[in-house]
Structure 1
Amino acid sequence: MTKYVFFIHLRKTLENIPFLPKGPVIPPRLRAIVSGQQRRTLLRLLPFHLAANTISAPLTLSFIETRHPFYGTALLLIIEILVLSYTLCICFFQKSALSTKNFTIFNTLVGFCWASLPVIVFPGGSDQEQTLIAGVIVALIATSLSVSPLFCGTVALATTIIAGCMIALFWAWLLQPDTLYVVLMMLLGIYAGFILGLGRAVSILLKRYIITSIELEEQTEIVRLMLRRSDQSVGEWVWETDVRGHLTSGIPALEALFQIPEGLSGKPFLRTLEDYVTAQAQWHHLAECMHSRLFFRDLIISLKGAHSVRVLSFTGHPLFNNDEFTGYRGIGADITKDYTLDQQASFRAAHDSLTGLPNRYAYEDSFRAVLVKLSREHIPFALLALDLDKFKPINDTFGHAIGDQTLIEMSKRLQTCLKNNDMLFRIGGDEMVLIHQNASLDSATQLATELVSTVARPFFIAETAIQCSISAGIALAPAAGSNESTLQEAADLALYEAKRHGGNTYRVFVPSYRAVADSRRDLIRDLREAIQTHSITLHYQPIINAQTRQLAGFEALARWTHPVLGPIPPDRFIRLAEEAGLMHDLGHALLDEACRTAHSWPHNLWVSVNISVDQLYHRNFIGEVRRILKETSYPPRRLQLEVIETIFMESDAATYSVLQELDSLGVRIVLDDFGKGYSSLGYLRFFPFSKIKLDASFVRDMLSDSRSAAIVSAVIALAGDLGVAVTAEGVETEEYFYRLSSKGCTEVQGYLFGYPMSQDKVASFIAGHFRRVPFVNQSTLQS
């Protein structure tokens, strides 16, 4: 131990010699990383060092064994045992073996072994022996540079061998005074200084290289984090923690927000946020991610500042150095303004504009929430599917204005029947859904009875007497099922039974209603057969350039005519295909047919094909697209793939990766049904879509509803600023066409220009579409 301490002091003395290079100042946060990298570098060089000692010992000692047999044998055994033992320690106890203390002790022991050689053999040795010893010793001193990543090893090995050489030369001089030995001692001293200085320089250069590499990597990572966010603003900042979770530097934005004059540097990041957070769930989510060392993106936390509540967004990723966690680095931003606007937009998107009831999107979220509550807390609920009876005649007889007022009145009446935790949703047209929580059979039937009787009372709208009724289907969870599709199907089957019995009543789902489900299974079987026999075909609806009125391309739409049931609506068999796991095979067949058909069209026309979530997530989807394009010789630039925004609801990096690969192939990606969800704008930030398709509901209402018209104008203007094309769906009259083209819409699609047509009619349509779609003078429409 005393010798080990001696070499530590010697190393520090050498580091402080004025003319030797000074080592870099290592920041505390990097010390562990630099030390680990030094040892990994040493581990790469150490085999050469150990091999040199292992091979040199028997070769050298074989020449001196005749004069010193006991010494030669003992020295050989000691060196080989030392090397072998240390090699085993590295294999099984690497971290301990490469510690500064143990590494210095090993090199000291090896150095003493070799230092004994000149002391014992050189003074009275022959010329050949002295020459051999001199050569071996010089070589061994030089090998000390191989362990310079840990300078203490170089010092321990080189100084012990040099000390032994000095003693041997001095002893030889005493036995036979000769100036040669004095000169050799002087040269040895100079050479020793050179070796130690060079070892020190190599060690310093390695440290500087490691520090520079780490800092460059950190800067690159910061730039990468910044580039990940396309909505950068001056309100963003970089934050970083050490392995304990303490901030390594101050964050001026947070210090000003919380009015912390002493700064945040060195303070625990999570604990600091916890003191100001307004919603513990948000903080717990962040804490869970950081404790689990997970990457997180745009994690929102509301914090109470000195004067107001601010909403902050945090993105961060864990830092690792060769699988060893070293802290976190990320980007923070104040998104209070954007978050407030998003919340307002979210409310509007989650509620029906006519009745004010939560809409289908809110229903789906709430339905999932009560299912989770059912599975975790075993709290039963009832799902009531509601439908107004004979609502279409009201619309046809009194007009849509009276129909809308009827829906408003019905929604008000239904809401008067709700209990504390009940939730009512309008999911489309005259269809509504009610979630009755903490339900029993008695409470559900009592609620249904009250709903039916409340709606049945007549009322007046503009002196017009309206008589309306409602039917209800009840599915009790978990008796009727414990997942979304099963319960929805059970409620729909019960509603069908209520309607089948004349309406104005309710039915509770019973297992016998599953006969309907059996017919569904039969339909799935027929669908599988239709896919295999290519009985599902494509029809093509034209899409027109809104500015030139030229034909731009076609959208491929799937059609299935059942041999017994006749035409099956696409949304029905597509949904069946997705539920039955057939969507991949169906989508592959339709994409192949669309590319083969479109290959015969003029080169300026493209085809647009819808792809589902199942297709996009299939492991070989990209490969199949490549193969279809190759086999059909269809140019990727003439293929458009339409995706709907629901694919982003549970997206990760893989989703964007697939879209990026398609884009790199030259395939154009189209965002379909744009405007149905408030988050559509967020998708435009993360992926450069070639086109967005404006939902037909906005186009249909734009002439009568100023809000819809404003949304259409805003979307077209936004797309123009982003350099993205816009296709407006549902264009059925010339007035719609003129309004859209005058606003700068890129393309239009609708019955005005053509219904979906079979493949054999497309060629004639392409040849004569100008004659079938006469140009209308815009001034005529204006007048």
Structure 2
Amino acid sequence: MNKTNADSSLPALPQTPHTRTLVALIGLLFAAAFLLGMGALINIARNLNSEELQKSYFYTQKALETRTATSAALISSFAVWDSAYDHLNGIADTQWAYKERNLGDPLFINNGYEGVFVIDRKSTKYGLLNGRLTEVALSRYLDTSLGSLIDAAQDAAAQARAVDRFALFNGWPALVTAAAIQPGDDGTRVDPASLSVMIFVDQLTPAKLLKLGQAYGLTGLAIEAPGVQTSSRPQLNLGRTGYRLTWDQPRPGNDLLWSVVPPLLAAGMVLCLLLGYFFRFALRTSQQMDSNYRVLKVSNQALEASEERFRAVAEAASDWIWETDEQGRILYLSTRFVAVTGFTSDDWLGKPLEQLLHCDTLPIDTWLADLRNSQPHTAHLRCTYRDHCAQPRYCRVSARPILQDGQVAGFRGTASDITDEVAAHAQIQHLSMHDALTGLPNRNLLARHLEEALGRLSHPPGNHGNAHGLTLLLLDLDDFKPINDTLGHPVGDAVLLEVAKRLRDATREQDLVARLGGDEFLMVLSGLTNDKEIDRFCARLIESMRQPIVHGDQQLYIGASMGIAQSHLQGPDPTELIRCADIALYAAKAEGKNTWRYFSAQMNEEIQHRRHLENELRLAVKNHEFILHYQPRYELDGMTIVSVEALVRWDHPIEGLISPDAFIPLAEQTELIVPLGRWVLREACETARHWPGDLMVSVNLSPAQFSRSDVVADVRETLIQTGLPAHRLELEITENVMLNDIDNALHIMNALKELGVRLNMDDFGTGYSSLGYLRTYPFDSIKIDKRFIAAMALGSNDRAVVQAIINLGKAMGLKVTAEGVETEQQLALLNSDACHEVQGFYMSRPIDKLALGRLLAQQDEARLPSRSA
């Protein structure tokens, strides 16, 4: 009686409406799931039908391809045959072909060919119709262009293969296979245009289609005439005949639906009955839960204290939990504390918290005292401690007062381990100031070091400051790029690591070695200002750099060039010091490898001169101050001009004609090479358009044009605008183009070949892997570097190199040109070595287009008598 009264005094929250809502939601979810399942099943059936349809298309195409390949192989065995060539290529030998059954009725009886014909461009020389001789021309039966069929078969004669197409034969679709009749593989070479053509006609009759369909699991394989529509059957066009190949569409998905849907519907009905029973049971249970709810509310009050503790844990998202009494002694440590620190809880229970945790900025007891006097809230503090192995660790500590009857009875908090976070932050700080590969200081740390060191020099503290200045050595590696490009970046990285080690070993503790990027390093030497000492240091450093670097089973060799700037001479500005060192490095590399140069005012003047020349070059490009000279290229057999190389000259208004060696490198560095290269290409093509015959013009392409412009678009636009036939344009490309970007260069060259232009590898023999490039890239010709030509008369080794290049070019089907021919002896040697073409001062120097016009006219006049004869 008392319990009932107590329960009735508590408010009750009805649960039945919520249960009804839940029951309705479950019913809707079940219906949705059932509908989704049905939809998925229908989709699966549709996909099965679609996949089976695609398979039927595949097998139909495969069946046609197999029949085509079989016919091509059979006709090739008859056409590429010495006897067939002897008896059929001239006047057809009917005795040999039909009566001796070499090309007779077995082809109809055994192979099913309704028509077998031998034709040329004039007539049908031999014909079988259904295994019997016929004198009717093939054009009466076959509805296709015999001329194009003959052209295709003769074009394929070089590969000894057949061609095929679908056409109408006697008004019915047939597979027509043709092959040029030629000798077998006995080395005999004949003109393809003179060959007769053998033709097999295979009509796609219903009997053949039935057999073909059975072989590939296709039912109802048949021919559909034009104008007949069978939308429910798949179709495959038979060439341009207008007829289509059709077959029955397999539908496994429909079978799946008929086998699955009825049982699925029956199961759904059973589940509906079960759910109805479940819903009724749930509603009754909900009513019983309503009566028990008030009793559960009393039990919830007993859990509030425990919920408060775990609420604090959830708010702090900590690793381990701690509690202390009012004096800060530890009363509780969670089990996570053991896993993180390695201690046991008993090791620290009863000890002050500040004995476990330490903060450099604020004592723990002072922090907790501040929490006592403030409003109850959670506070955070970064602390350190040592784990059971005495290793330092970091944690983020949170705390809040424990209140009992409004009084602070202790503190509760969490500690989140942030050791990895602190280490990661330190690593980030290190990476921001150091090179990721070598570990050397980077530009950021270098700038800070220079500012601090130069600041100390400007304001020395008593006698302890360094009053002798700083010396900056900017070092650039020689011969590093070939290693990095040919052996790969991993090998290049290994070289950079070894260089960094040698530089650190060569410097003192107070010096700084930084990597600026790529293969550039900067050394900041403190107190080393005597030039003799610096020279000795540089000599030792270069000697160290020249020592071989062992990587795997390879020995790699590099060198170094250095530019030197000194703060007591060039001033205390860090940026200016680095600029001066860079100018000195530029001068050192210009004078050769493995050397060093001090910055001087004269170097700065040279840089200013270079900038002045750059400005003049920009104006020259804008004002079109360039002209082209042309150097002919002669065919050794007859010494006739077959090509002309376009060479650009700068017609300077003051200095006159300037050779390309003086301004092309500058144009490549300043990106002026792009508009200049386009002008040269357009001017050369426009001039060559008026030359007689098929005389080619050869234009050099700079590697910078490949990387900074769309070369393919430039060439295409130039050919369209000038009207020069593509086969009369030859582009000369050096190996540096391939070294810079192998994949992109190959893509561009293939695109250029698709335009129809010719490609020539210039300076062949001087690169690192020219033979590999010849095998990979679509070159039409090669130019032997003039250094080999100049030396070939001096020794047998150089001539042997030239002979080897000529033989290599011939073996690969390439034209070989020798450039730089300057003596009669050189010309005679190249003639005896059977070189294809020559170019050089001995035949003609580069001349303007007017002089070239006269030279070409003279050559035409020299040919006139032979032409009239």
Task: Give the TM-score of the pair, scaled to structure 2.
Answer: 0.38
* Greater RCO structure (CA 8 Å; 6+ sep): 1
Higher helix residue share: 1
Higher strand residue share: 2
Larger radius of gyration, structure 1 or 2?
Answer: 2
Task: Give the TM-score of the pair, scaled to structure 1.
Answer: 0.42
